[in-house]
Amino acid sequence: MCRSHADSVDTVQREPYGCPFTVRKLNSTTYLIRENDRFGEFPHIYVKICSQTDVRGQRPSVLLINDTGVGTSVPSHDESEPPVWNIKSFIDRHFNPGGETPYLVVLSHCHYDHILGLEPLLHSQDADTRKPVTILSSSHQRSFLAPYATLEEHSLCKSNKLSTPVYETSMWATDRESVVYKHPSGIDMPLPITTLHTPGHTPDSLSWYDVEERTLYVGDSLYEEESVDSKTAPWGRESPAPILFTNE
């Protein structure tokens, strides 16, 4: 969900104070993270814990992260917390404290409020806490995402004077594909995930169906103007999400 781009970014920016993220459990394997950001986007980031026992009795895991938000980063004011709160430190703290689980990032599309959080995930300054990160994007109209100058424009980073993340998609999802993740241990992990091409909001819009939980995640293809989460956010009630039709 992108709010009006006709306004200058300076007119909507505001700095959150304290930890800018909240988390709540949606079902037995999936959590919703919401971000209090300077643009007023309030991104939804989903984390699904995927684990399975293989024939050798090993139990490899991967954290599926659906979108990454707008890259909010604020200093912590508590010695018991990470020095800086960003999407990486928040996910590490809540879901990967031992640092052993790799990340599979599923991008619903390339707009800035979905990809700016890639920066801390991919380029952590602390090599000891850096996790293997695999990025999955829609294979529908790949020319919408490359070359880099095209991504700068279509992500809306350029028009908002934002630095576009540099990243490489290593998994190109086809329509109605059952996802198989190549774990760093060398094991092929069939995930209970089916990807769906849903172009409309953008040509690269990608939805995915969680077969295990019988839940569909649609990115910005469909959303409510207001929800229980937006009405009861700890940072205050959020303004209703606009319904916009761009020229893309």
Closest CA to 148 of 115, 193, 100: 115
User: Domains of the chain by range and CATH?
Assistant: 21-232 (3.60.15)
Per residue of the chain (248 residues), give pLDDT as tens: 665 444 433 334 444 568 999 999 999 999 999 999 999 999 999 999 999 876 666 678 999 999 999 999 999 988 888 999 999 999 999 999 988 899 999 999 999 999 999 999 998 755 555 678 999 999 999 999 999 999 999 999 999 999 999 999 999 999 999 999 999 988 999 999 999 999 999 999 999 999 999 999 999 998 888 899 999 999 999 988 876 655 54
- Would the pTM count as exceeding 0.85? yes
**Chain centroid, CA 125 distance in Å:** 20
Angle (CA) 67-121-165 rounded to 5° is 75
- Helices then strands, counting H and E runs in the chain, come out as 6, 13
Report the distance separating Cα 173 and Cα 102, nearest Å. 19
pLDDT at 58 (0 to 100): 67
pLDDT at 126 (0 to 100): 59
Give the pairing of strands 21-25 and 30-35: antiparallel
Burial of 205 (0-12, 13-18, 19+ CB in 10 A): buried
pLDDT at 54 (0 to 100): 66
Report the distance separating Cα 211 and Cα 182, nearest Å. 19
